[in-house]
A and B are shown apart, each in its own frame.
Chain A
Amino acid sequence: QVQLVESGGGLVKPGGSLRLSCAASGFTFSDYYMYWIRQAPGKGLEWVSYIHYSSTYTNYADSVKGRFTISRDNAKNSLYLQMNSLRAEDTAVYHCARGSTWIQLSEFDYWGQGTLVTVSS
Chain B
Amino acid sequence: DIQMTQSPSSLSASVGDRVTITCRASQSISSYLNWYQQKPGKAPKLLIYAASRLQSGVPSRFSGSGSGTDFTLTISSLQPEDFASYSCQQSYSTPITFGQGTRLEIK
Contact = CB atoms under 8 A, between A and B. Distances in A.
Interface of A: 4, 43-47, 59, 61-62, 95, 97, 104-114
Pairs A-B, 6 closest by C-beta atoms: A111-B43, A107-B49, A47-B96, A107-B34, A45-B98, A44-B100
B100 A109 contact: no
Contacts of A61: 95
Taking residues whose C-beta sits less than 8 angstroms from the other chain, chain B's interface range is 20 to 34
Interface in B84-107: 87, 89, 91-101
A45 B95 contact: no
Given A44-B98, A44-B100, A47-B97, A108 B46 contact: yes
B94 A59 contact: yes
B34 A47 contact: no
Contact of A105 (B43, B93, B100): B93
A113 B41 contact: yes
A114 B43 contact: yes
A44 B101 contact: yes
A105 B32 contact: yes
A109 B46 contact: yes
B91 A105 contact: yes
